[in-house]
Amino acid sequence: MTQYAKVIGTGGYLPEEIRTNEHISEKVDTSDTWIFERTGIKSRRIAAKHETTSSMAEVAARQAIEMAGIAADDIDLIIVATGTPENVYPGTGCVLQHRLGIKKGVAFDIQAACSGSIFGLDIANNYIKSGAAKTVLVVGTEINSRITDWTDRGTCILFGDGAGAVLLQASDEQGILSTHIHSDGQYEDLLNCPNPQAMGDADGVGYISMKGNEVFKVAVNTLGRIVDETLAANNMQKSDIDWLVPHQANIRIIAATAKKLKMSMDHVVVTVEEQGNTSSASVLLAFNEAVRDGRIQRGQTVLLEAFGAGFTWGSALIRY
């Protein structure tokens, strides 16, 4: 009997501190109007000093567990997507496993930048379909503020912190219909964050660097192709999609993808205005918000997509 990966719970966490465009304009030559017109961002959340990627992941995970009505110990696989782990090792997944009091199963991290949660959903889907796992927790969690150069106008306006989670369980009912992931390393110089210590520079500091215009062009074209690929794989028309939940990088990229789907922005989940780009957390944060406020209803078809450094990109089509 075919097993599907069914969404049974979602969760999210945003730190308390809100850093507005006005706050940023006090430090660099920019303004609220300039930032908002180019990105759609008004503010972003900033993690407190005591917070870590695993502590934020725990809050989001516990919300998902509570919604699902299961015990944490029912989870047999944890996948954490993050580019900002508190340790090189052990992995954030293992730290989260301990925080949740789980002593069985498997936990590991993946790094696919802003596409991390989509890559996590792909892995989870295949584990469940193969019978290798029954209940899988996927978390995207990031503290981008600590790898952001707050004097660089091109990047400091974009990024924020947060964590999103989704719980998947094996089911006879359709859940994840398909996942599609890709990467192309030739663009590594357009968006990256170095690790100076690993390169022998013990005193170095690694910050995000980005060539924004070039990234924008590749992202729009790539996400257009992933929409076509996803629809073709499921023999669907654009009108069959009820909701688009995109990576929250830039409102112009989001709008371009919606236009590709011929979809009204009323059916696009947008959180970028108040959250900025939370990298691997953004898609799951947006999905959680729309599930919890009732926009996304059971039985609806939802397209999740993302694009990130690497470059990496992907989609997940879900019958919620």
Tell me the C-alpha to C-alpha distance, in Å, between residue 216 and each of 99, 185, 187, 302: 38, 16, 12, 24
Residues with Cβ within 8 Å of 292's Cβ and at least 6 positions away in sequence, in order, are 10
Does residue 277 have an active-site annotation? yes
**Helix 251-260 and helix 212-233: axis angle, to 10°?**
30
Q: How many angstroms from the chain centroid is the CA of residue 94? A: 19
Task: Identify the residue whose tokens are 């301990």.
Answer: 98
User: Using an 8 Å Cβ cutoff, are 62 and 89 in contact?
Assistant: no
Phi, psi (degrees; rounded to nearest 5) at 96: -65, -40
Q: Which of 21, 156, 180, 247 is catalytic?
A: 247
Catalytic residue check, 114: yes
Quote the CA–CA distance of 5 and 167 in Å, as a whole number. Answer: 9
Query: For 33, how many CA atoms within 13 A lie in the half-sphere containing its CB?
Result: 0
Q: Which is catalytic among the residues 114, 156, 250, 288?
A: 114
Q: Is 180 marked active-site?
A: no
Catalytic position from the list 21, 144, 277, 288: 277
Three-class SS of 125-172:
HHHHHHCCCCEEEEEEEEEHHHHCCCCCHHHHCCECEEEEEEEEEEEC
Please tell me the distance from the alpha carbon of residue 203 to that of residue 82, in angstroms, as a whole number. Answer: 23
* CA nearest neighbour of 140 among 10, 303, 309, 8: 10
- Positions annotated as catalytic residues are 114, 247, 277
